[in-house]
Amino acid sequence: MLVKRSHCIHSGSCICTNGHLSETVLVLVFKSLNWNPRTLCSVACVCKWFEDIAKRILWKEFCLSRAPKMVSDLLSGGSHGTIDGNWNALGKLMIYCSGCHDGNNICQSNSIAGHFVYRTRFSRTSGKSFLVQQCRTDTLYVTDPCEHLDQGEDGDVGLFRGIFKAFGKSKVRKMLIERQVELHPKESCPYCRTKVWSMVQANMISRSAYRRLGAYEDQIEYFVCLNGHLLGVCTLLPLSDSETASEEE
């Protein structure tokens, strides 16, 4: 295998003055580390060259290694092996619960800090519950709620996140645009930084979402960003109540 060193040409302050390893070598190193996300984050901060290769290759491999089925499904809706909102955003979505800041409809008295999670399962079946009837043919993957219990006056808060397949062509996006729902003036996507729509404002919270989450009916909010990432927050019913609710279904 031919290993060539390419020099960093990005800035005088870049620390890699002795040139970089080739892409091939870096990819092999990361493969042996099983695409460790922490190492990946530190490497991406070194300089533009590393940042670029992390975005283009390393995060993609990370995503494929952690959720191969979901990622190949998401890819089959995109064009030429690309994904909406970049690989690093999807990587972060997989391993980071973004918390909740006070002032949100649900977290009124408390802020919940973002945190890394070890591994998260994204479910397409669960995602269906978050789509209103007219949009049920869209494909959406959603996690189980990350439970933040005893948040003072806010009660037990559940945070969940998800991603649409081919959001650009989805019925949800079409409906948001047809209804002329405005983008939220303050909130933005913690994963890709684009603006978001509030599904409460759009009146597009589906009834089955409450049941799926075990949440109070009027205590749920989710946002969808321009790249089709979903982030949501709800107040969870006490365990005994939510069990009763699901028995009634």
**Binding-site ranges for Zn ion (CB under 5 A):** 97, 146, 159, 189, 191-192, 225, 227, 229
Question: CB-wise, 4 or 38, nearer to Zn ion?
Answer: 38
Helices (H) and strands (E) in the chain, counts: 10, 9
Cβ at position 113, least distance to Zn ion in Å: 9
Q: Which is nearer to Zn ion, 31 or 193 (CB)?
A: 193
Q: Smallest distance, Å, CB 197 to Zn ion?
A: 11
Minimum CB separation of residue 102 from Zn ion in Å reads 16
Residue whose CB is less far from Zn ion, 147 or 182: 147
- Cβ proximity of 20 and 49 under 8 Å: yes
Task: Calculate helix-pair angle for 37-44, 87-95, nearest 10 degrees.
Answer: 140
Specify whether the CB–CB gap between 89 and 225 falls below 8 A: no
Is residue 165 exposed (0-12), middle (13-18) or buried (19+ Cβ within 10 Å)? buried
Please state the closest distance from residue 192 (CB atom) to Zn ion, in A. Answer: 3
Q: Which is nearer to Zn ion, 172 or 192 (CB)?
A: 192
Residue among 174, 235, 171, 230 at smallest CA distance from 198: 230
Q: Rounded to the nearest whole angstrom, what is the least distance from the CB of residue 55 to Zn ion in the complex?
A: 15
Q: Which residues contact 150 (CB under 8 A, 6 or more apart)?
A: 156
Q: Is 136 or 193 the residue whose CB approaches Zn ion more closely? A: 193
Single-letter amino acid, residue 62: F
